[in-house]
Amino acid sequence: MVGWFSKMVVATTVRMPKWFVRWVSRRYVAGATLDEAVAVMKRLTSEGACFTIDVLGEEISTMDEANFFLEEYIRVMQAIKQNGLDANISIKPTAFGLLIDPVLGLQNIRKLVQMAAEENMFVRLDMEDHRVTSDTIEVVITLHNEGLTNVGTVLQGRLFRTLADIGDLETALGPHADYRICKGIYLEPEEISFTAYQDIVDGTNAAIDRMFAAGAYVGVASHDIPVIEHTLSALKAHKMGPGLDDQRPNAGPPRHHKGPGYEFQMLLGVRGPLRRRLLKEGHRTRVYIPYGEKWYEYSIRRLKENPTIGTQVAKAFLMPWTNRP
C-alpha cells in the first residue's frame, strides 16, 4: 500500500501553480524543446551515458495529430546524427494513432522505423496501459517479419501476462527479440496485475530470467536495488558482464550502439549515483530523456498514476545531495 506521506506529497504537488510543478519536473524532464534535450544529453555524455529520447505526449484524438509526432521524431533523428549522440528513440504507439486506426497507426510507426533503420538507429515501442499491450506486441512482430529488426518493445513485470508474452515473442522472433523490462508505471487492475511491491519485483525478476534464457537483448529499466542485484546475479550465471562477449549459445546478433546482450536503463534525474556506479563498473547505462511541450501533463499524469513517485519528489526537494541527477 502506498504510504500516506507519498500520497500527501502527490496531492499537494498537483494542486500547486504550474511554475512550481515545472521547478519539480525540471529534474526529470529535459525541457520543452529539442534543443534543451540535446543540451542535457551533451552534458551527460561526459559521464559516458547513452540515451533514449521520448517526445512527450501519447494518446491522440485524431489521426492528424499523429503527423506532429512523426515529424518531431524525424527532427530528433536528425539531431542525434548531427550532434553525434549515442542515442535511440522511444515512441508511444498511441501517439501514432494505434488506438484510433490500427492500420494507419502501424503505417506511421513503420515509416519511422524504416527511416531509423537507414540511420542504424533503434526504435523502442513504449508500453502503455493494458488496452494496447497486445497491439504493441503485434506491431513489433509484424515489423520484424517485414525485415525491420531495429525495433523492440517494453514489457512490464507487474502484469500477469508478461511471461506468456515473452514466450510468444521468443517463438516469433527468437534471439532477435529486444526488450526493455520494467516494473510498470501504470497502476493496472488487480485482476490482471500484481499490486504488492514484492510481487511486482518477483514478477520483474522472473521476466528478466526468462529473457536472458531466451538469448534476447535485455534492457533492465529499474531503480530498485532488488531488481538490479538480481540482474547482476543473472549476468554472472550466464557468464555475461562488462568486457565480456555474450556467451549464451542462443544469443542474438550484436546490436548497433548497444551492450553485450544487456544494458541498464534509468529515468533522467532518478538514482544518478547508482547509474554512475554501474557505469564505473563497466555496464552500459542508458538514460531516458523525455522532452516536449506536454511536460506539464506528463508530470501530473506520472504523479497521479503512480503516487509512490511522491516520496522521490520529496527526497529530491528536501535532500537533493542524496540523488544527484
Nearest one of 218, 215, 243, 217 to 228, comparing CA atoms: 218
Phi-psi region of 81 (alpha: psi -120 to 50; beta: other; left: phi over 0): alpha
154 strand-pairing partners: 180
The C-alpha cell that represents 72 in the structure block: 518531431
In tens digits, what is the pLDDT along the chain, a chain of 325 residues? Answer: 445 555 565 556 556 555 455 656 667 788 889 999 999 999 999 999 999 999 997 778 899 999 999 999 999 999 999 999 999 999 999 999 999 999 999 999 999 999 999 999 999 999 999 999 999 999 999 999 999 999 999 999 999 999 999 999 999 999 899 999 999 988 889 999 999 999 999 999 999 999 999 999 999 999 999 999 999 999 999 999 999 999 999 998 888 889 999 999 999 988 889 999 999 999 999 999 999 876 666 665 666 555 555 555 555 554 554 445 5
Cα angle for residues 99, 105, 111 (degrees, 5° grid): 160
Nearest one of 244, 274, 213, 255 to 49, comparing CA atoms: 274
Nearest one of 197, 205, 190 to 157, comparing CA atoms: 205
Can you give the three-state secondary structure of 147-158, one letter per residue? CCCCEEEEEECC
**pTM for the structure as a whole:** 0.88
Question: For cell 547482476, what's the residue?
Answer: 232
Report the distance separating Cα 70 and Cα 138, nearest Å: 20
Report the distance separating Cα 33 and Cα 145, nearest Å: 35
Question: For cell 494542486, what's the residue?
Answer: 15
Report the distance separating Cα 286 and Cα 178, nearest Å: 15
**Residue ranges of the domains in the chain?**
30-291
Which H helix or E strand runs over 298? helix 295-305
Length of the chain: 325
Domain 30-291 part of CATH 3.20.20.220: yes
